[in-house]
Structure 1
Amino acid sequence: PAAALRKPEVMAPAGGWPQLRAAVANGADAVYFGLSTHSARARATNFDEGAELDDVVAYLRHHEVKGYVALNTLAFDDEFDAVEALIRRCDAAGVDAIIVQDLGVMALAKAVAPGLPVHASTQQSIASADGAEFARARGATRVVVGRELSTAEIAAVVAHTAAEVECFVHGALCVSWSGQCLSSEAWGGRSANRGQCAQACRLPYEVLVDGAGDQADGAATLNYALSPQDLCGLEDVEALTKAGVHCLKIEGRLKDERYVAATTRAYREAVDAAWAKLRGDDADATPTVSRSDLAQVFSRGQSGDVDGLSAGFLRGPRHQSLVVGNAPRHRGVYVGEVLSVAPATKKQGLTLRVRSELEDLKRGDGVVIDGGADHARDEVGGALYDVKQVAGGFDVTFAKAVAARPWVRAGARVWRTADAAVDAKLRGLASSKPLRRTEVDVRVSVDGGELVVEIDDGVRVGAAKTPVVPAQDRPLDEASVAKALGQLGDTPWAPASVDINLGGGAWWCRAADVKDARRRAVESLRALRAPARASARAPPGAARALLERGDGSLLDDGFDESLLEFKVGVAVLVRDLDQCAAAVDYALTTPPSDDFAVDEVVLDFLELKGLREAVAAIRERAPGLNVVVAAPRISLPGEDGALEKLLALGPDALLARSPGQLRYFAGRDVELRGDFSLNAANALTANDLFDDAAALTRLTPAHDLGGAAVARLARRLTPSRRAKLEAVAHQHLPIFHASHCLYARHLSKGDSFENCGHVCERHTIHLRDEAGADHVVLADMGCRNTVFNAQAQSAADALGSWLDAGISRYRVEFVDESPAAVAAVLGAYRDL
């Protein structure tokens, strides 16, 4: 079905008060912000949940801008009292919605404040209409789809869900799907899903193809292979509007007010222009903020042809341009290429002759010399001390403190990282008066000895009266009344028309009385326009009531534990036919009574090729083994065919990895298991997933939980559900899961499966980090890449506590190990 035409909301980020004011001043329809805890941008200034939250909401209400609070991290069981308090505080303050990642937090919000709207965060990895409907069934009124969806795919989601759909339109692009990045967890001991992203995607790596790197002069060639350009969807606003998107979201809660002012104004004007065009109206085609301004305030420029701002995935995959790999941080506007270098002397600083097409390079501009990825941490730059225009470019001189480097030579790229003129322009926008968004009609009349002021927005009329008396000297006239009315002062409305009808009589009142009537009419209309929300709040302690199964006395769900023979069962996850054969060999040589007996094999093949043979081989060689087929981590619109092919294999169970897959497979004739990627980090989420129509028979906890936390989670579940937990005992952590394909980027000229030459079927890629560890990259059936940690992670130290907590199901996962390694690892765990 065709999407309903609607004008999308422009939503801006606010990491603090300066950014909040800048967003409002430049036309944001909504802002999103975090509180002191449980926000995915813990490094932002954020706002406290006390009186400051009331002040924020009051400020936004005054300007008729919606306020959404980001409670978008995973919550642990011992944090739910605090989370409940935050939800209650948001509800009492009158925020317009909370943005939530955790399914348990969604369940809690529904119990605590059912009238408080909930938006499903992009960290729920919503990639399809099934995913959107999964979230809507849990109370989400809006879903934020992944940044990896194209406009056409977003339109498909809009067309098949009753939830509002929001998408990102500008800002930083994570290389990994939001909610599916475990690099911070693996390498930094902290979690992006807990608001502590370590930005490992912005680090340099050496790309190894079939075990070999690109060596230059004996040194490894580094590449920022996982650092995408930023998203800039200005040219896609009209298409997104046609797609029926409800909200366009600007990323950037860590950015300053200049960035917020620039991006908000740019997208305000772009939405207004697109809307006018679609309605057949004239639109002002001259934007206040140019693309160059946006690049200057923040962009990860790569070359003279690549300014660091891209359409991301909005126009489909662009593997050749999304990640160039030269630099991971702000570059600004490209100046040009170094032609010659004059080292610093006692009289003047380092001087460069730069070939450039810029016209406005000037003294005081900030400049950096880019020596490529190998020298990104040893940059030369600073404010320009002197600039002289020469034929084809400039001679630029730095202060004497700026020293040259060996690589500062002809051919190096030069970028303007700061421009005082642009900075002044954007600071002016950030501190400007709020844009008027709504036109109203103002009417003044005299009726029965009272002057009546009415403000009409076309739907509602705010009105106020003030007494008038017969004039003794100077009666009211239209000019004096109009002067007293003014332009509605500090309100979000602008008078489209002012009709003053004094009835032909000679009346008088003070100008202050007219102003007061205008003020009260404004407040009257404001009250009529205020969003109404009657929230039937639950009594305090809802979180405790939902969680107190864990107190030991309420663990009985009618399941007789004495009937449960506590026997450890082991699943082995393999990724190719050789590993599969090794796992079956081990199972056949290990008696079922063994303490570490393998009773099922999980086939997580990255291509459909070989799956049918693997299923047949297991059925033939080991009929007693369960065969489980793993679905890909993400399923986009149009990829249902691949899921149907998995189902057609006739497995004993399917391992579902996304909310959309749970809904897609629910009610089908197959047993379903839920994987770690569903992010069950607490008992509320686990219970929600077990209660789902998918009827999960197994669930693997989120990898954000440490060993002790997994045991605590198990104890909070009833015995029958505890028996369904499957803990991963051994794995190479999947640190990134990306729609950007490293195989296509580095081994082909293609941008998709149709033109990449399927190089992933013939080659291997590893990423070597600065410590020398090689992390294998595998491409799945949807061309999405997973980077696996080089170091295997073992839960050997936690097995005892897991067994004590009643966990009887375990999984051992392999990535690219040899058959001999498969046998050795399984044998080692059996010997523990």
Structure 2
Amino acid sequence: MMQPELLAPAGSFEALKAAVENGADAVYLGGKDFSARQYAANFDREEMQAAIEYAHSRDVKIYVAVNTLLDDQELEGAVEYLYWLYNAGVDAVIIQDMGLLLAINTVLPELELHASTQMTVHNSRGVEMVSQAGIHRVVLAREVSLEDTAKIVRRTGVEVETFIHGALCISYSGQCLMSSMIGGRSGNRGRCAQPCRLKYTLVEQDGTPLNVETEGDHLLSPRDLNTLALLPQLVEAGISALKIEGRMKRPEYVAVVVRNYRQALNRSLESPETFELAPGEQREMGQVFNRDFTTGYYHTNPGRDIMSYHRPNNRGLFLGRIEEISQGRVRLTSDLPLSVGDGVEVWIPRGREGTTIRNIMLRDGTQVTSTAAGETVLLELNAGRAGDRVFKTYDAQLMEKAKRSYTSPREERVNKLYFRVTAAVGSPMTLTIKDEKGIDIEVSGEFIGEAARKRPLTEKVLREQLSRLGNTPYKLAELEAEIRGEVMYPLSEINKLRQRAVEELKRRSRKIMANPHLRANIFEKRVHEFQKSAQSKSRKVADMPKLAVQVGSLDAAKAAISAGADRIIIGGEHFHGRPAFTLKQQEEAVKMAKEVGCNILIALPRLWFEGQEQTISNYLRRVEEWHPDGLLVGNKGSIALAKAVTSLPLVGDYTLNAFNSFSTDLLKEWGLSQVTLSPELTFRQLENMRVDLPAECLVHGRIPLMISEHCALGALMGGKAGSNKCSQPCKNQRVGLKDRMQMIFPVETDQFCRMHIHNPKELCVLDDLHRFQQLGVQWLRILAREKEAGEVVRLVKAYRQVLDDQADGEQLKDALEKASDQGFTKGHYYRGVI
């Protein structure tokens, strides 16, 4: 059975040491730029070099996350940074941006690349697509089941990495625009403000709260992933790397989690049939940090059982209930061991009150510094009442143990060295050392051995001196001593030889572990040729852009065409509670559009898993018989599947995150005939792009901010929990999520029971349409899948009139906004996310 790599996070050098000393096989970290955890400490270049040398000398790999979207102005700097990382010796770089993928495979194909979970790769077709483009390993979306993961491994043969512990995103990674659109802090740019951890109220469309039973108001806050009990199954699935989330976490957290997974994984590999958790493992994991635990989507969609409604941060472990309060002390029977210095929280009706335990008294008045579980104790707590719950949020002894693991001068993670010494009267001492990788170092001293008068050299003396390896990643494993005669050498001579040999071993090891140095002139030549090719593209000033309208019903399609749409887009997801757009109606829409000369695209679902491939393939074959003008594809697997099944032209949707010219070049290489650019781009960034494909931009509609396997409505009102099926209340009512600013985010559920959360404000750039012409944009899209035919007519007519110079955009925009329930926004066209 293949042994998977245990991959740990590090947001600081201390966390790196914690990961290495507690058993990680590899560590992923970020630099100061281009990293999806911009609020971690991260590593500058000097620290990065030191991190690589530290890890490599302990036989641990280093992966660097450069996993944000990059605009055209940033790509050159990112390429230079990856070149520096390559020569510094990193083992791989984790990326999200497709443009960076193309650039690196053109100018630095020697560098190993891993596809970040931000790429939203979730099926075998997508894995094959990015693998053929130069990706060595794929980090799958967290929503992929264990069964599908095993199928992907078998079908593709590509290295697969999955998350096994830590924070979960409620949305598919790489598909979330919520933080971006609300506050300009983009998750795709490493600056997520985590709006999912805030409080929300489930409401009707008009804002009336719905009567739901839940322990708290954090309706979008998931529990933490914990798969300790699933390790044998994860190994059996053939996963190459098991990834722990947590680059924002403190080093003690990294130490505790990595140690427990290391120990459990070793037991699983030794005997998967008899594997079971050791006492205390889950307790330690929960104590160091938890929002309650879940195994995520590995086996099923857990519904409400994946959520942490009560609180979005560390909840600690249940300690006990207050039994009595007397003279400033509370009495409780502790479910856990308790020590002075531990942190506790009392959960009171209005919130939580936390404190640090300064003293512990037993029932007979005895003062103690610690107690075992099951003891009744008296604690000084200035909060709570009888019956209130008390949680232990900090374990002083556990944290001290964790801290010692990475601060002690005596390292646990060391490499064995094999020493051989020859010594004789009249000869210098010769020391040979060999490490576990087979590197041999031989050094000779300057002192000529003398006949011993009192204390001749012995193997015991040699062992004592040579084992003094101090703060190095080595320990003496074996010593072979060939001492001829009674000879004497100064102890300082032996120490000098040991120091010289170890330093030379370190130098040789760094040279071997570092990547072969790519000569700068070769790299610069490749970069120059790549830039020359990119600069040869000229901006195409388009005619006035054409108008595309994405609709959700046959009536809306007819309305869009009659109002002047140049293209309609149908298919993809349809939302529960709205009239179904049947296959027969879709075929009718294609026929109708072709009769009047209107372009028509059929959209594929935004996301789909292994078990749905055949259904989508059958759908594609049927669609091809209708002869539409093309397919709208929104994930990498859909591109590959559509190319394999049909010969229809492909148009890339905005969900592909085309953020720079090079990403559009890669999409062109993949066979796309048109691309929709990211809605996070500004006009200024669009101006800097040189796109060889016809480009489209979104100009109107409620942009989906999240797409999630978790449905809040189903969990809160439909009974969806564990294996319980949902009663699908979404078919009978429209709901939203109201935030603390009283904005209502419309919530829709599609045919796959995925939740779509939309922006409260509609995007509207009706008064800026002529700017798109200057930028060479050929298509403008209105998102109108949820709109009735009458609304579609009003929208399309307004945009048609402005495009045809028959009306003033500002005036029409004002009129439309008055009819909007929550107003308009210009999105990122002016403010951006840089």
State the TM-score, normalizing by the size of structure 1. Answer: 0.84
* Equivalent of 2:524 in 534, 537, 540: 540
Question: Is the Cα contact below 8 Å between 1:606 and 1:778 reproduced in 2?
Answer: no
Match of residue 293, structure 2, among 300, 309, 313: 309
Q: Which amino acid aligns with 1:397?
A: E
Equivalent residues in 2 for 1:156-167, closer than 5 Å: 156-167=151-162
Task: Give the deviation of 1:253 after TM superposition.
Answer: 1.3
Once the two structures are TM-superposed, the CA of residue 132 in structure 1 deviates from its matched residue by 2.1
Residue of structure 1 aligned with 2:574, choices 579, 600, 606: 606
Question: Is 1:106–2:101 an aligned residue pair?
Answer: yes
The reply on whether 1:259 has 2:253 as its aligned counterpart is yes
Residue in structure 1 matched with residue 589 of structure 2 by the alignment: 618
Contact 1:352-1:396 at 8 Å conserved across structures: yes
Distance 1:471 1:93, change over 3 A: same
Deviation at 1:581, TM superposition (A): 1.0
Contact between 1:62 and 1:491, CA under 8 Å: does it hold in 2?
no
1:171-202 C-alpha deviation (Å, 9 max, x unpaired): 11111111111001110122111111010110
Q: 1:47 aligns with which of 43, 47, 54?
A: 43
Whether the 8 Å contact between 1:299 and 1:329 is mirrored in structure 2 is yes
Q: Is the 8 A contact 1:603 1:611 kept in 2?
A: no
The residue correspondences of 1:191-206 to structure 2 (distance < 5 A) are: 191-206=186-201
Residues 390-429 of structure 1: pairs in structure 2 closer than 5 A: 395-398=378-381, 412-429=388-405
1:814 aligns with 2:788: no
Partners in 2 of 1:195 and 1:70 — Cα distance? 11
Q: CA deviation at 1:450?
A: 7.0
For residues 804 and 435 of structure 1, do their structure 2 counterparts lie closer, same or farther at Cα, with a shift above 3 Å needed?
Answer: same
Checking the alignment, whether the CA contact within 8 Å between 2:575 and 2:748 is kept in structure 1 is no
Q: State whether residues 182 and 192 of structure 1, in contact with CA within 8 Å, keep that contact through their aligned partners in structure 2.
A: yes
The answer to whether the Cα contact below 8 Å between 1:629 and 1:646 also exists between their aligned partners in 2 is: no
In structure 2, relative to structure 1, the CA distance for the partners of 1:316 and 1:451 (3 Å cut) is: farther
Letter aligned with residue 130 of structure 1: R
Measure the CA separation in 2 of the matches of 1:544 and 1:550: 10
After the TM superposition, which residues 702-741 of structure 1 pair with which residues of structure 2 at under 5 Å, given as runs? 702-713=678-689, 716-718=690-692, 721=693, 724-741=694-711
Counterpart in the other structure of 2:284: 293
Partner of 1:250: 244
For residue 129 of structure 2, the aligned residue among 115, 131, 134 is 134
Using the alignment, how far apart are the partners of 1:94 and 1:461 within structure 2? 18
1:646 equivalent among 619, 624, 631 = 619
Alignment of structure 1 residues 171-210 onto 2, 5 Å: 171-208=166-203
Letter aligned with residue 658 of structure 1: N
Find the aligned partners of 2:458 and 2:610 in 1 and give their Cα distance.
Answer: 64
Q: 1:131 touches 1:661 (CA, 8 Å); kept in 2?
A: yes
Distance 1:654 1:621, change over 3 A: closer
- The secondary structure found in structure 1 opposite 2:104 is helix
Instruction: Map residues 548-563 of structure 1 onto 2, 5 A cutoff.
Output: 554-555=537-538
Change (3 A) 1:495 1:199: same
CA distance in 2, matches of 1:487, 1:8: 34
* Residue 268, structure 1, aligned to residue 248, structure 2: no
**Aligned-pair distance for 1:224?**
1.0
User: Which of 671, 677, 699 matches 2:655?
Assistant: 677
Helix, strand or coil at the partner of 1:140? coil
Deviation string, structure 1 residues 700-722 (Cα, Å, up to 9, x no partner): 11122124433433xx124xx2x
User: Is the alpha carbon distance of 1:686 and 1:619 closer, same or farther for their aligned partners in structure 2, counting shifts above 3 Å?
Assistant: closer
| Pair 1:229–1:754, CA change in 2 (3 A) | closer
1:274-308, CA deviations, whole angstroms, 9 ceiling, x for partnerless residues? 22225x9x999858x732222222112xxxxxxx1
8 Å CA contact 2:20, 2:413 repeated in 1: no
> Within 1, Cα distance between the matches of 2:751 and 2:636?
18
Correspondent of 1:319 among 270, 281, 303: 303
Distance 1:438 1:236, change over 3 A: farther
Distance 1:369 1:711 in 2: 56
Inter-partner Cα distance in structure 1 for 2:650 and 2:763: 26
The residue that corresponds to 1:502 in the other structure is: 482
In the alignment, structure 1 residue 383 sits paired with structure 2 residue 371: no
Q: Distance in 1 between matches of 2:514 and 2:475?
A: 23
Corresponding residue of 1:305: none
User: How many Å apart are 1:10 and its aligned residue?
Assistant: 2.0
Give the distance between the partners of 1:341 and 1:814, measured in 2 at CA: 60
Deviation string 1:52-87 (CA, Å, 9 cap, x unpaired) is 332222222332322222111110111123213312
Q: Which moved more, 1:177-186 or 1:125-134?
A: 125-134
Please state if 1:18 is matched with 2:11: no
CA distance in 2, matches of 1:754, 1:310: 16
* Letter in structure 2 aligned against 1:360: P
Give the drift of 1:811: 1.1
Distance 1:22 1:622, change over 3 A: closer
Contact residue 264 and residue 277 of structure 2 kept, 8 A: no
Aligned-partner Cα distance in 2 for 1:824–1:299: 50
| Cα distance change on mapping 1:60 and 1:672 into 2, 3 Å | same
Task: Tell me the SS of whatever aligns to 2:150.
Answer: helix
Is 1:477 the equivalent of 2:458? yes
Q: CA–CA distance in 2 between the matches of 1:753 and 1:783?
A: 15
CA distance, structure 1, for counterparts of residue 575 and residue 763 of structure 2:
25
Q: For 2:411 and 2:768, how far apart are their aligned partners in 1?
A: 56
Q: What TM-score, normalized to structure 2? A: 0.84
Unaligned runs of 5+ in 2: 364-373, 803-834
1:132-161, Cα deviation, whole Å (9 max, x unpaired) = 222222222222112222222222222233
Question: 1:30: which partner in 2?
Answer: 26
Cα 1:822/1:412, change in 2 over 3 Å: farther
2:609 to 617, 626, 636: 636
Alignment partners' CA distance in 2, 1:519 and 1:184 = 53
Counterpart CA distance in 2 for 1:270 and 1:428 is 21
Q: 1:158 and 1:487, CA in 2 relative to 1: closer, same or farther beyond 3 A?
A: farther
Cα distance in 1 for residues equivalent to 2:214 and 2:241:
44
1:311 partner letter: T
Indicate the residue corresponding to 2:85 in structure 1.
90
Q: How far apart are 1:238 and its partner, in Å?
A: 2.4
Once the two structures are TM-superposed, the CA of residue 729 in structure 1 deviates from its matched residue by 1.1
Matched length: 772
CA shift, 1:470, in A, is 6.6
Partner Cα separation in structure 1 for residue 285 and residue 594 of structure 2? 62
Counterpart for residue 303 of structure 1:
none
Q: 1:513 and 1:283, CA in 2 relative to 1: closer, same or farther beyond 3 A? A: farther
Instruction: Among all aligned residue pairs of Structure 1 and Structure 2, give the percentage whose two residues are the same amino acid.
Output: 29
Q: Which has the larger displacement, 681-690 or 151-160?
A: 151-160
Q: State the secondary structure of the residue aligned to 2:390.
A: strand
Aligned-pair distance for 1:248? 1.7
SS of residue matched to 1:228? coil
Cα shift at 1:41: 0.9
Provide Cα deviations, 1:341-392, integer angstroms capped at 9, x if missing partner: 77xxxxx65x5555x54243455432223357xx5xx543333466555699
Whichever residue aligns with residue 673 of structure 2, its letter is T
Whole-angstrom CA distance in 2 between matches of 1:154 and 1:540: 40
State the 1:465 CA deviation: 4.3
Query: 1:681 Cα deviation (Å)?
Result: 0.3
Alignment partners' CA distance in 1, 2:300 and 2:526: 44
Superposition RMSD on alpha carbons, in Å? 3.4
SS of the equivalent of 1:95 reads coil
Q: Where in structure 1 are there 5+ consecutive unaligned residues?
A: 301-307, 343-347, 591-596
Find out whether 1:224 has 2:218 as its counterpart. yes
Deviation at 1:256, TM superposition (A): 1.2
Shift of the 450–763 alpha-carbon distance from structure 1 to 2, 3 Å rule, reads: farther
CA offsets 1:308-351 (integer angstroms, 9 cap, x no match): 12222233322231104111111211223455677xxxxx65x5
